[in-house]
Amino acid sequence: MKFGSLLILSRSYEKIRKYVLRIEELGFDSVHAPDHLIGQQRKESPWLEAVTVMSALAVETSTIKLSFGVLCNSFRNPAYLAKVISTLDHISNGRMLMWLGAGWNKKEYRQYGYPFPKAPVRVDQLEEALTIYKKMFTEDQFSFEGKFWNLKRTLNYPKPVQKPYPQIVLGTTGLRMTDIACREADGINIMFAFQMKDIPERISLIKENLKKYNRDLSEFEISILYPVTLVKSQEELEKFSERE
């Protein structure tokens, strides 16, 4: 079993840096930066940009894997994002992970001038982008004509340190995204909108989808994003439960 931590980017970078160095010391496997552009509690709240933070942490850390929780596919051209991930993989000496989602926060899209198509279209865009990411990571040069992006004689050098590319994981609770993850990705991150009692049923569905695509569960990583509260005693836990 592996443990990762989701960062709170409303804190100062110095606090984030100290926190990440501490969990690296404790043996955490990975740390993930939420890819948002505005504060999630109040719109005036400070919120640092995720990729920039990860660029700094790639230099500060040495063993912990670095990722996002999750990258919004809509915010960046996929060819450009593949270049960014390739660069971060070199800065971190092969510790970068590529965790992705189709995007959801309409207010965020509107404030920054991004189109906000309906959910099925955003999923279509992510599915097409996955092809571009893989080509950018593995092919010497390629052209691509799709529904959403057209690329001409595209190059990406240097390739990522990790071969064939950094782990690609899709964050989702949706059925179609789950199917795409089982077909195209290296893993799935089940988001905390799920209740714990429903997790076994979703894992059974993942296993069925993997079987449909002739894939083995041993080659596929299932993770769960869920809030955890640390307490020092049973008494403290009971008091916390009463407040909740």
Q: Tell me: the pLDDT tens digits for 45-87?
A: 889 999 999 999 999 999 999 999 999 999 999 999 999 999 9
The 3-class secondary structure across 54-72, one letter per residue, is: HHHHHHHCCCCEEEECCEE
- Give me the residue label for tokens 């993997």: 210
What is the structure's pLDDT at 199?
A: 86
pTM (two decimals): 0.90
Q: Roughly how many angstroms between the first and final C-alpha of the chain, as a whole number? A: 28
- Give me the residue label for tokens 């008091």: 239
What is the structure's pLDDT at 198?
A: 84
Q: Which of 78, 67, 202 is nearest to 133 (CA)?
A: 78
CA atoms of 78 and 126, how far apart (whole Å): 9
Q: Which residues of the chain have pLDDT under 50?
A: none
The CATH superfamily assigned to 4-243 is Luciferase-like domain (3.20.20.30)
What is the structure's pLDDT at 104?
A: 93
Q: Which of 165, 164, 170, 5 is nearest to 88 (CA)?
A: 165
What is the structure's pLDDT at 11?
A: 92
Amino acid type, 242: E
What is the structure's pLDDT at 41?
A: 67
